[in-house]
Structure 1
Amino acid sequence: MKYDLIIKGGQVVFRDDVRHVDIAIKNGKISAIAEMIEDTATDIINAEGQYVMPGMIDTHVHICEPGRTEWEGFVTGTKALAAGGTTSYVDMPLNALPATVNRGALRSKLEAATGKNYVDYALYGGLVPSNLENLAELSDEGVVAFKCFMSTCGSDVPDDFVNVDDYTLYAGMKKLAELGHMLSIHAENALITDRLGEEMVKQGKITATDYVASRPIFTEVEAVKRALFLAKETGCKLHFVHISTEEAVEEITKARNEGQDVTVESCPHYFTITTAQFEEIGPVAKCSPPLRNEEEQEKLWNKLIEGKIDMLTSDHSPCPPEMKHSDTNNIFEVWGGITGCQNNVDLMFDEAVLKRNVPVTDFVRMIATNPAERFNMPAKGEIAIAKDADIILVDANQSYVVKKEDLYYRHQHSPYIGREIQCRVTKTFVRGHLVFDLAQGIVGQPVGQFVTHHAKETAMV
C-alpha cells in the first residue's frame, strides 16, 4: 500500500507500553503499526531518539472569539496549541460574547471558528441561571459537555457569562442527568471568597499573597463537597476543573470510590508555580483557584503520582496586557487568568516524566486518552489502528528557554517566560497534516474540524 506518511524509528507511547515501531498514516487515520514498514509513502519522518505520542486534548481552553477577539482569537490561540503539542481542544462557554448558553450563541461561535482552527475543536455549553430551558438545544447542537461557575464570574456587559446559584446548580444537574450530559464545575465558595477579598482590600492587603489568602483551601473543598452531594441526589455526571488542593482531590476520589461518576483535572501552573513565585512573577500568574504554597503543591504532586488526577489541562485564559496591570499595584484589580497553552506538554513532560519518573504511559493517559474517553472523542486519544493520526513528537534531549518572541498568543505574556524546559515538541500532526514543525513553525493553512458529541457517552473507569 502507498501511505501518505510514515513516522519511523520513534519510541511510540501506547496505552500500556512504549515500543520502537513505525506508524503509517493514510487518509488522516493510523493505517499500520509495525516494527518495520516499507518506505512506500509520500512523506517519511525520521523520529529516531524521540517519543511519538498522541497529541494532547486540552479540554479547558478559552478562545474569546467572537466578541472579544482582541483577547485571543481562533487563529492565534490554535497556533499556540499546535506549537505546544495539542491536536484537539474543548472551548469554554466564556469569555467570548455572547457566552455560549443558547443555540444562537453557539452558532455564532461556530461561524466565527470556521476556517480558522489549526487543530480540531469541540465546544462546551454553559449552565447559567437564565438558560435552564436552553440545555437541550445546546445538546442537540453537539456540545460535548456543560460548564458552570460556583465562584463569582461575569461582568455588566450584556450576554456575558455569570455564575450559578444553588438552585440553578441543582436544577441544571437534574436536566443534564436526563440528557446524559456531564457538568464541569469551577468549584469555589462565592460568598466566602468575595467577602474575604473585600476585607483584604479594605485593610490595604493587596499583594499576591493576600489574594491567595482570600481564597483559602477550604473554600474549594466546601464547593466540591456541595456539588458532589447535589450530583448524588440528581445522578448527574461531574468533572471538576483546575483543582488546586490535595483535600479536594481526595473528596472527589472518595465519591468515585462510592460509585459517583466523577473525574478531576488540574493544570500545569498548580504544579510549577508557588505562591512565593507568584509574588515574584506578578499579575501574569494570577488565576483562580489561586496558586498554592510549596507544601500544598507537593501534596498535589503526590495525588498526580498516585494516579488520582485524571487529566491535565491548560485553563488557557488570555487577556490584553493592560488587563494585567494596576496603577495601585492592587492584585485584586487585575484579570485572573493564565496564558499558558503553548507549554502544556513540554513543561509537564519535563516536570512529571523526566524529573519525577511518572511513567510516560500515565502522562499520555492524562493528556490524551482520558480526555478523549471522558469527552466522547472516540477517534482520538491514543495511537491505535483506525484512530485519527493526531500525533506529536517530543525530544527529551533538547532543552530551551521560553521566550516572548516564540509565543503564538495574540498577546505574548506568560508566567513561563524565562523558564528553562528540558524537552521540546518538535512536530505536531492533526489527522496526518503537519501543522507545526520546530524548524518551520506553523505549517500550512488551518485544518481543524468541529468535533460533536456522540449519542452514547461512555463513562471513564
Structure 2
Amino acid sequence: MDRLDLVVRAERALTPRGERPVTLGVRDGTVVEVLDGADAPLTGARELRAAADEVLLPGLVDSHVHVNEPGRTEWEGFASATRAAALGGVTTLVDMPLNSVPPTTTVAGLDAKRAAADGVLAVDVGFWGGAVPENSRPGGTGELAALWERGVFGFKSFLSPSGVDEFGHLSAAELATAAEAIAAFDGLLIVHAEDPDVLAAAPVAAGRDYAAFLASRPDDAETRAISLVIETARRTGVRAHILHLSSAAALPLIARAREEGVRLTVETCPHYLTLAAEAVPAGATGYKCCPPIRGEGNRDLLWRALREGLIDCVVSDHSPSTPDLKDLDTGDFGTAWGGISGLQVGLPAMWTEARRRGVPLAEVVAWMSAAPARVAGVSGKGAIAAGTDADLVFFAPEEEVRVDARELAHRNPVSAYDGAVLTGRVRRTLLRGAEVTGDSTAGRMIERS
C-alpha cells in the first residue's frame, strides 16, 4: 500500500457500525482504511489522536443554508457562512436559491453563484435550483432541466410569498407543472409548505407579543400546504421533500402518504427541537422564523417523529439578515425579517436537548450528517467509512459553551441562542484530511453525482 497522508486515532468514533475505537488511514483526502482499535498498526506522514474527552464525528451535512451571495452579501456571504459552518462541525452545505440576487432559478443565476463562491470557501458547497412561476408554467420548464444538467441537487419552491420579490411562489397549477417536469428526469422538488389562503385569513402579526405572531402562522397553514404537496407527488410521481417542518399536526398526513408509497421525505430544524414558544421573550425578534417556533407539546411530538423515522433529518435553515431588518430596537414581530441564524450552533444546541431527553449522540449526528446527505443526494459525505471524504470533527460532548452572538462567525451578530449555555464544543474540523482554519479556502463547489 502507498504511504498514507494522515492517520487519525480515536477511542470513540461514530461510524456506520456504531460507536467504537478506530484508526483511520487517509490518502488524497479520502478515508481508505478504517481499522478497529485506536492503536492499530498504521503509519502516515501525519498523525492526529482525539483527546480522551473527544468523540470523532463525520463532518455534518447541512442541506438548508441561505448564503445570500451575490446580491445580499451584507446579510451573509460564502466566506463568512462557510467559516461558521466549519466552526459548527459542518463540512458540506447546500445553498438555497434565494435570497441572493439573482436567484438560482436560471443557469445564469447559478453561474453568478459559482463566481461569487470561487476561491473563498472554507467547506464544500453545493447548490439548489429554484422553481418559480417563470420556469414552472407550460412551455417554460426548460430552465429546470438545464439547471439539473448543471448539477443542482433539486429545486426549491414556495407555496406562499417568500419574502423577496424576485423569488415568486407557485400556484397549485404551477406546482403541478414543475413537479411533472422534475419527475421526468427524476429530480427532487423541495417545498416551503405554508398555504397562502390560510395565512391571509389569519390574524395579522404586529407588536412585541410572540403569541400574536404565532397566531398569524397557524398549524393549518402547514397541514393544507403539505396535503397539496402530497397529492401532487402522488399524481406526478415526483420525489418531494418538505422543508423545515414545524407543525406536528402534519405528521399523520406524512405517515399516511408514506404508507401509500408517496416518495416523500421531511426535515426539521434545531430551533424547532430546542426552543419553544412559551419561552420566547416579548420583542425578541431574533426568534422569528417562518414557519414559526411552536409550543412545548408540539416540540415533544417532533422529537418522537424524528426518533421513529417519520422525520428524516435535521438541518439549520440558516437564514440571516442585517440586524436592522430584525427590528431589534422595536421588537415588532410583524415587521421583523423572519429567519434564524443557527449554522454554527446547531450541533451543540441539538446535543444539549438530546442529552436532556436521553437521546444518544449517535442519533443526533446521524440526523445531521448521513441523513441529509442521503435526502439531498450528496455523495461521499456524512459517514466515517472507507471511500468517503475525510471530513472529520473532533467534538467534546461534555464541554459547556456560552453563546455570544458577537463572537459567531456568520456575518451579523444576531442569534436566537445568544446567551444560552450549551453542552458540546467542536474543537477541530477537517475537510478532506486538512484542518479548517480561519483563513482556509480549500472548500470545493460540488455537484449532484
* TM-score above 0.5, yes or no: yes
Q: Which residue of 2 aligns with 1:43?
A: 46
Distance 1:144 1:95 in 2: 17
Using the TM superposition, give the Cα deviation of residue 197 of structure 1 relative to its aligned residue in structure 2, in angstroms: 4.3
Among 310, 316, 339, the alignment partner of 1:314 is 316
Q: Which residue of 1 aligns with 2:56?
A: 52
Q: What is the aligned-residue identity percentage?
A: 34
Q: Partner of 2:279: helix, strand, or coil?
A: helix
Q: Which residue of 1 aligns with 2:272?
A: 270
Distance 1:361 1:403 in 2: 27
> What residue identity is the alignment partner of 1:410?
R
Distance 1:257 1:271 in 2: 25
- Asked if 1:96 is matched to 2:62, the reply is no
Larger deviation, residues 220-229 vs 273-282: 273-282
Length-normalised TM-score, structure 1: 0.92
Confirm or deny: 8 A CA contact 1:60 1:90 kept in the other structure: yes
Do the aligned partners of residues 54 and 250 (structure 1) sit closer, same or farther apart at CA in structure 2, a change above 3 Å counting? farther
Do the aligned partners of residues 328 and 85 (structure 1) sit closer, same or farther apart at CA in structure 2, a change above 3 Å counting? closer
Q: Partner of 2:63: helix, strand, or coil?
A: strand
Using the TM superposition, give the Cα deviation of residue 259 of structure 1 relative to its aligned residue in structure 2, in angstroms: 0.7
Q: Which residue of 1 aligns with 2:125?
A: 121
Q: Partner of 1:398: helix, strand, or coil?
A: strand
Among 185, 192, 196, the alignment partner of 1:186 is 192
Q: Which residue of 1 aligns with 2:432?
A: 431
Confirm or deny: 8 A CA contact 1:278 1:291 kept in the other structure: no
- Asked if 1:130 is matched to 2:134, the reply is yes
- Asked if 1:139 is matched to 2:148, the reply is yes
Using the TM superposition, give the Cα deviation of residue 360 of structure 1 relative to its aligned residue in structure 2, in angstroms: 3.1
Confirm or deny: 8 A CA contact 2:97 2:103 kept in the other structure: yes
Q: RMSD of the TM alignment (CA)?
A: 1.7
Confirm or deny: 8 A CA contact 1:91 1:123 kept in the other structure: yes
- Asked if 1:421 is matched to 2:422, the reply is yes
Using the TM superposition, give the Cα deviation of residue 262 of structure 1 relative to its aligned residue in structure 2, in angstroms: 0.9
Using the TM superposition, give the Cα deviation of residue 292 of structure 1 relative to its aligned residue in structure 2, in angstroms: 0.4
Q: Deviations over 1:373-426 (max 9, x none)?
A: 222222112111111111111111211111133200111110111111111111
> What residue identity is the alignment partner of 1:180?
D
Q: Deviations over 1:270-298 (max 9, x none)?
A: 11111122234701110000110112112
Q: Partner of 1:22: helix, strand, or coil?
A: strand
Unaligned runs of 5+ in 1: 436-441, 455-461
Confirm or deny: 8 A CA contact 1:209 1:279 kept in the other structure: no
Distance 2:286 2:186 in 1: 38
Larger deviation, residues 342-351 vs 61-70: 342-351
Confirm or deny: 8 A CA contact 1:10 1:49 kept in the other structure: no
Length-normalised TM-score, structure 2: 0.94
Q: Which residue of 2 aligns with 1:150?
A: 159
Larger deviation, residues 172-181 vs 244-253: 244-253
Using the TM superposition, give the Cα deviation of residue 98 of structure 1 relative to its aligned residue in structure 2, in angstroms: 0.5
Q: Deviations over 1:192-227 (max 9, x none)?
A: 2133244x55xxx66221010111111111110111
Q: Which residue of 1 aligns with 2:9?
A: 8
Unaligned runs of 5+ in 2: none
Q: Which residue of 2 aligns with 1:285?
A: 287
Confirm or deny: 8 A CA contact 2:404 2:418 kept in the other structure: yes
> What residue identity is the alignment partner of 1:331?
F
Distance 2:3 2:203 in 1: 63
Distance 2:394 2:251 in 1: 31
Q: Partner of 2:387: helix, strand, or coil?
A: coil
Confirm or deny: 8 A CA contact 1:243 1:249 kept in the other structure: no
Do the aligned partners of residues 253 and 443 (structure 1) sit closer, same or farther apart at CA in structure 2, a change above 3 Å counting? same
Among 190, 193, 196, the alignment partner of 2:202 is 196
